[in-house]
Amino acid sequence: MSAIADNLQAVRIRIATAERLYGRPTGSVQLLAVSKTKPLADVLAARAAGQTAFGENYVQEGVEKCRTSAGQALEWHFIGPLQTNKTRPVAENFAWVHSIDRLKIAERLSAQRPPELPPLQVCVQVNVSGETSKSGCAPATARDLCHAVATLPSLRLRGLMAIPEPSDDFAAQRRPFRQLRELLEQLRAEGLPLDTLSMGMTHDLEAAIAEGATLVRIGTAIFGERNYA
């Protein structure tokens, strides 16, 4: 087995252990392997180990991987900040977008989604920690944004995404994830058929699973540290 296959197995064990520990059904948490800055060869090594869903943060890099891996039966998720002038290639190449933080982005994705493709699966990103350096809409505006996004053709609103402020304290890790889950529950009570909580990364996936994550976004624990040079 490759190092990536070993790493994937270790992450899957962490997820399964957290599912058991926090009373989650077995298999209720999906693993998204975040492959930003990593070569396609690493993606294909993970694919050989059974991983099919991959996340990318940068439009040009992600689109290139989408196109060069055509035929590999991979599901590509865009999870990074998205500018209005970059929506078309994302709408044309990705299956999911997790990072909608304003209505204009959603409207452009909807208008630019090719009609022959299935609806683009989307999440609204919420800035639960209020960090000025983070993307995402404010919690106070998330409800109205979700209801607006849910009406757009060519999109299917699946749920919410967040990247909380890092913490080494488990209780502190859980608080923003709980806030996101409670917002999702409110939206579901208002009639939106949401099923996705995209939250939790390498350092805090257990806290996210404890609070109801359905999808965790793991990069470093699978592919190793990134080189941004």
Res 222 pLDDT > 90: yes
At residue 229, the pLDDT reads: 63
φ, ψ of residue 202 in degrees (nearest 5):
-55, -45
At residue 207, the pLDDT reads: 98
Nearest partner of 65 among 31, 87, 35, 86, judged by Cα: 35
Span 26-35, pLDDT tens digits: 999 999 999 9
Q: Which stretch of 5-9, 130-134, 205-209 has the lowest confidence by average pLDDT?
A: 130-134
At residue 133, the pLDDT reads: 75
> What is the arithmetic mean of pLDDT over 53-67?
97
How high does pLDDT run on average in the chain?
Answer: 96
At residue 139, the pLDDT reads: 94
Res 132 pLDDT > 80: no
Q: Distance between CA 225 and CA 42 in Å, rounded?
A: 13
Six-digit token string for 29:
């948490």
Nearest partner of 92 among 124, 125, 114, 115, judged by Cα: 114
At residue 135, the pLDDT reads: 86
* CB-based contact 130:162 (threshold 8 Å): no
Span 64-83, pLDDT tens digits: 999 999 989 999 999 999 99
At residue 120, the pLDDT reads: 98
Span 153-184, pLDDT tens digits: 999 999 999 999 999 999 999 999 999 999 99
Q: Distance between CA 18 and CA 79 in Å, rounded?
A: 23
Res 228 pLDDT > 70: no
| Structure letter (DSSP) for residue 30 | E
Tell me what percent of the residues of the chain surpass a pLDDT of 90: 93
Burial class (CB in 10 A: 0-12, 13-18, 19+), 229: exposed
Q: Distance between CA 94 and CA 118 in Å, rounded?
A: 11
Q: Distance between CA 138 and CA 176 in Å, rounded?
A: 13
At residue 134, the pLDDT reads: 81
Nearest partner of 219 among 203, 206, 202, judged by Cα: 202
Single-letter amino acid, residue 184? L
The pTM of this model reads 0.96
Q: How crowded is residue 179: how many other Cβ atoms within 10 Å of its Cβ?
A: 17
Pairing of strands 120-125, 53-56: unpaired
CATH 1.10.4080.10 fits 3-223, yes or no: no
At residue 131, the pLDDT reads: 76
At residue 1, the pLDDT reads: 67
Q: Distance between CA 201 and CA 221 in Å, rounded?
A: 9
> What is the arithmetic mean of pLDDT over 210-224?
97
